[in-house]
Amino acid sequence: MHPLNPADRRTMLALGLLLLAVYLATGGLHFQSIDEVAVFTVARSLAGRGALDADAIFWTRVQSGAGSVIARGVDGHMYAVKDLAPSLLAAPLVFLAHAAGVSPTRAALLLSSLVTALTGALLFKAVRAWGYARPTAILTALTFGLASMAWPYAGTLFTQSLAALGLLVVLIGTVRARQADGWRAALLGGLGQGLAGLSAAPVWISLPVYPLFLVEWRAPLKRWRRLVAFGVGAGLCGLVQAGYNLARFGSPLETGHALLGATRRLALAHLDVGLIGQLISAPTGLVWFAPFVLLVPVGLWIGWREGREWLLLVGGQVAAVLLMYGVYGEWWAGLSWGPRFLVALMPALALLAAPALDWLLRAGRWPLRALAWLVLALSFLTEALAALFDYVQSEVPIFQTYAGLAYSPRLPDYFPFFLQSRWLPLPRQVIAAGRGAWDVLWMSGRGFDAPLLAAHLGLLAAALLWLVQAARGRDVRRGLLSQAVLTVALVALMLGRYPQGAANYQIDQKPPPEGLAEAIQAVEAQARPGDGVLALLTYSPLAWLDGASGRVPDVGLMLEEPLSVYTGETLRRVAEWHPRVWLVSEATTGGDPANGAERWLSERAYVGGEAWYGRIRVVPYTFGESADLSAADQAWGQGAFRLVGYGVERSAGGWLNVRLRWRAADEVGVDYAVFVHLLDQSGALVAQHDGLPQDGYAPTRTWRAGEVVDDRHSVALPPDLAAGDYRLAVGLYDPLTGERLPLAGGDGDSLILETISID
């Protein structure tokens, strides 16, 4: 174990800042997968109200069924099946973004860039501390940061980047604990394992590897303190994860994931398919997506000859995680760039290649070294193209083919697909580049953003300069400080120039729907404690997630007709959780026959006054007790409509719930609206609700003779309403002309239901 000198520490910082500059320059700051949306949604709930639910993306459950990224918990709320650590770390970024008035989704997507840059810096520290020269440590860190799958995944919110950091920390802590017999290092290693497990639960499979490396086999109890310290670190994180699972799904082992819950869909029969598919197949083989791994066997051979005992530990970690994912039923990791599950192993694979990289920097036979440098260059090119251009379009047919072959344990079923060279990553990336499918922020919806690109290039040039100077042993502390300040300024520039998140999964930005920001502001200003939101943004669900703070609990819906049983159950629970909900819908009107959710509300809740903000419609619905109706007997017009019962409930939330029961005596050809007015003693109007019966789902022209219709209205009371007695009046009118329908057999056009006393 070699302690780092000041020059090494400066070099480590310079490396981290350079990698971060690269990731910022090549990041698109938009989601590419629903998995990332799930991670963000939990972070949003945490930042908004300290909750852990993912109700805001309930619509994914409707779209994807049992394969969704969310599952219902024991309390009825929806929870992400993704692991907790990335959401916990993204929550502060989301909170700060809302406070600064910039896009929280873009801010959250910075997390993996920060984490991956830190991982690269720590990788330099590990290689240097384990006895290699500074140039070798720099090359190893750059291989990880720029020639492995860590680079394209640094621009995402997938969980694997944070798992990679945790797996590197456990390696550093374990090796240091063995070499220096330090319990603090062992504790750090245990916490690293816990961080990895809290980011990607399957990597807990590597847990036994580290105690085996720490134990003294000739005297197993001789170094018991470091074993205990490691167990404490890992155990604390394990308890957090177990508690999280227990709170969500009622079992410490249940994650809600179709692949993980109590080892479902894990089978050794998949092992050959999974290993071959992840390592060498054309569509998802690691050797094609990160060609630098071809240097790993060379590194193992050289390192073993040099007596590098830590290779056993690193190799054990790689083997354990690889075998775990090999027995997955869906080892291809869904719609993703290559073998996504193996991104967590990129630091370990770079460490295994370190002896070969050290050999590369020595003088000697150039033909072999030239071949190795060519492999590194090819690996860099593959990752650079993946980071710069949009690869998702070419991934879709790969995902669809794998889905069609899902869970088959027979290798021959996969061979024809595995061997198709057209699915190799590099040719697909060249095609994407030829199409101009840029996937960077400075080529987003505004087109070519020259000022932002110039800022990125300037930061990259400065970062490279300070790294070169630091590697030469120069004192560049002031330069690194200025680099850090400029990095923060560049992030502020990126978020300031693009303050709204992507409305979809494409880099070509579309503005959020007209009026969405105003609708969000209105709802959050009017919502009271206990209120909820039903967000039915069919065309812009991501824009809602980006714009709404999450302070008001929200459930994301989609247009359904007929309404699914699953959605009906969720709406029933919403009625139990909230006395009032605000329906926020995009380009829909009351009575929309395709809107099963609003039909459900209109039949069971009391509708309030709607408001339009551009294309966004906001309607409050209140829930009340199903009290017995008071008898009534009043007809309107020629007796076509008769009120036969009513109920009035005053809510503590500041509104009146008015239930009207109508009986049709004859058919009419006009859609009459119902008004419910609160009048003071002078007859002046102080509060009201007007609308078609059942919010348009029971228009009067559809009523048949003898039909009974229950109609619910919510009258919001003004907060400054003076104490006194008020009369509640009801009637009907033609909304096209405003002409009221007169009472049958009497004077006037409205019926006073009762007198309301306001204290």
Q: How far is CA 39 from CA 16, 36, 156, in A?
A: 25, 5, 11
Question: Is there a domain that residue 475 lies in?
Answer: no
For residue 654, pLDDT over 90 is answered with no
Domain endpoint, select from 557, 590, 622: 622
Q: What percent of the chain has pLDDT over 90?
A: 74
The whole-angstrom separation of Cα 534 and Cα 570 is: 11
Residue 706 CB coordination number (10 Å)? 9
Please check whether residues 447 and 539 belong to one and the same domain.
no
For residues 6-41, b (16+ Cβ closer than 10 Å) or e, as one string?
ebbbbbbbbbbbbbbbbbbbbbbbbbbbbbbbbbbb
Strands 554-556 and 532-536: parallel
Q: What number of other Cβ atoms are within 10 A of residue 658's Cβ?
A: 23
3-state DSSP assignment of residue 19? helix
Within this chain, do residues 81 and 196 fall inside the same structural domain, yes or no? yes
Contacts of 298 (CB under 8 A, 6+ apart): 353, 355, 356, 359, 372
Q: Are residues 606 and 638 in the same domain?
A: no
Verify that 235 and 147 share a domain, yes or no: yes
Return the pLDDT at 264: 44
Same domain, 634 and 583: no
The answer to whether 491 and 540 have CB atoms below 8 angstroms apart is no
**Nearest Cα residue to 259 out of 206, 339, 328, 325:** 328
Q: How far apart are CA 437 and CA 430, in angstroms?
A: 10
Q: Residue 272: pLDDT above 70?
A: yes
Average pLDDT over residues 293-319: 94
User: Between 416 and 68, where is the model more confident?
Assistant: 416
Using the predicted structure, report yes or no on whether residue 45 has a pLDDT greater than 60. yes
Average pLDDT across the chain, whole number: 91
pLDDT, one tens digit per residue, over 541-597 is: 999 999 999 999 999 999 998 999 899 999 999 999 999 999 999 988 889 999 999
Of 576, 593, 622, the position where a domain reaches its end is 622
DSSP H helix total and E strand total for the chain: 27, 16
SS3 string of 354-423?
Answer: HHHHHHHCCCCCHHHHHHHHHHHHHHHHHHHHHHHECCHHHHHHHHHHHHHCCCCCCHHHHHHHHCCHHH
The answer to whether 17 and 469 are in contact (CB under 8 A) is no
* Residue 522 belongs to a domain: yes
Cα–Cα distance, 611 to 627 (Å, whole number): 29
- Residue 652 and residue 712 in one domain: yes
Query: Residue 392: pLDDT above 60?
Result: yes
Is there a contact between 254 and 262 (Cβ–Cβ < 8 Å)? yes
Q: What is the pLDDT of residue 331?
A: 85
Q: Helix, strand or coil for residue 536?
A: strand
240 plus 320 within the same structural domain: yes
Give the number of residues written for the chain.
759
Instruction: Tell me what percent of the chain is helix, strand and coil, each rounded to the nearest 5.
Output: 55, 15, 35
- The amino acid at residue 176 is R
State the pLDDT confidence band at 152, using cuts at 50, 70 and 90: very high
pLDDT for the residue 735: 92
Looking at the fold, whether 701 and 581 belong to one and the same domain comes out as: no
Among 591, 570, 592, CA closest to 581: 570
Q: pTM of the predicted model, to two decimals?
A: 0.94
262 pLDDT tier (thresholds 50, 70, 90): very low
| Residue keyed to tokens 């993306």 | 57
Say if residue 362's pLDDT is above 90.
Answer: no
Q: Is it true that the peptide bond before 593 is cis, omega within 30 degrees of 0?
A: no
Q: Name which of 287, 269, 265, 266 is nearest 278 in CA terms.
A: 287
pLDDT at 333: 87
Q: Which long-range contacts (CB under 8 A, 24 or more apart) does 420-423 make?
A: 420/282, 420/283, 421/282, 422/282, 423/282, 423/283, 423/398
- What CA–CA distance (Å, rounded) separates 214 from 179? 9
Residues 406-413 have a mean pLDDT of: 79
Of 463, 467, 357, whose CA–CA distance to 130 is shortest? Answer: 357
What is the SS3 assignment for 106-155? Answer: HHHCCHHHHHHHHHHHHHHHHHHHCCCCHHHHHHHHHHHHHHCCHHHHCC
**pLDDT by residue (tens digit) across 210-246?**
999 988 766 655 678 889 999 999 999 999 999 999 9
Query: At residue 746, what are phi and psi to the nearest 5 degrees?
Result: -160, 175
pLDDT value for 147: 98
What is the maximum alpha-carbon separation in the chain? Answer: 110
Tell me the C-alpha distance between 67 and 91, whole Å: 26
What pLDDT, on a 0 to 100 scale, did the predictor assign at position 335?
83
Per-residue DSSP letter, 673: E
What is the model's pLDDT at position 540? Answer: 87
Tokens coding 557: 């819906």
Taking the CA atoms of 348, 354, 355 and 360 in sequence, report the sign of the dihedral they define.
Answer: positive
User: Taking 60 as the threshold, does the pLDDT of residue 343 lie above it?
Assistant: yes
For residue 452, give both structure tokens.
Answer: 């932002």
Residue type, 56: A
Residue 508 falls inside a structural domain: no
Average pLDDT over residues 305-316: 92
pLDDT over threshold 50, residue 489: yes
Pairing of strands 580-586, 532-536: parallel
pLDDT above 60 (res 260) = no
Helix, coil or strand: residue 690? strand
Residue type, 329: G
Q: With contact defined as beta carbons under 8 Å apart, do 323 and 315 qualify?
A: no
Hey, is 724 helix, strand or coil? strand
Which of 622, 651, 684 marks a domain boundary?
622
Of 477 and 366, the structure prediction assigns the larger pLDDT to 477
Rounded-to-integer distance, Cα 461 and Cα 457, Å: 6
- Supply the DSSP symbol for 438: B
How many Å apart are CA 293 and CA 295, to the nearest integer?
5
DSSP state letters, 574-637:
HHHH-SEEEEEEES--TT-TT-HHHHHHHHHSEE---EEETTEEEEEEE----PPPEEEEEEET
Please check whether residues 609 and 634 belong to one and the same domain: no
Q: Which residues contact 150 (CB under 8 A, 6 or more apart)?
A: 116, 119, 120, 144, 161, 164, 343, 346, 347
Tokens of 323: 């075998």
Decide if 252 is inside a domain.
yes
Could you identify the residue written with the tokens 């894990």?
266
Range of the domain at 157: 6-465
The per-residue b/e assignment along 505-528, b for 16 or more CB within 10 angstroms, e otherwise, is bbbebeebbebbbebbebbbeebe
pLDDT at residue 1, rounded to an integer: 54
Question: What's the rounded Cα separation, in Å, for the pair 75 and 271?
Answer: 37
What does the pLDDT read at residue 47? 97
Residue 253, pLDDT score: 86
Residue 492 inside a domain? The answer is no
Classify residue 748: in a domain, yes or no. Answer: yes
Is there a single domain that holds both residue 594 and residue 690?
A: no
Q: Are 350 and 139 in contact (CB under 8 A)?
A: no
What are the structure tokens assigned to 649, written together?
């409930």
Please report, for the domain that includes residue 694, its CATH number.
2.60.40.770
Compute the average pLDDT of residues 501-529.
85
Considering the domain boundaries, does residue 358 fall inside one? yes
Examine residue 562 and state whether it is found in any structural domain, yes or no: yes
Average the pLDDT over 473-493 and give the result: 95
Same domain, 296 and 381: yes
Q: Can you give the pLDDT at residue 249?
A: 92
Residues 544, 550: Cα–Cα separation, whole Å = 10
Structural domains in the chain (count): 3
Least confidently predicted of 5-19, 98-112, 219-233, 521-535? 219-233
Q: What is the DSSP letter of 270?
A: G
The mean pLDDT of 618-636, rounded to a whole number, is 87
CA pair distance 657, 265, nearest whole angstrom: 50
Residues 125 and 170 in one domain: yes
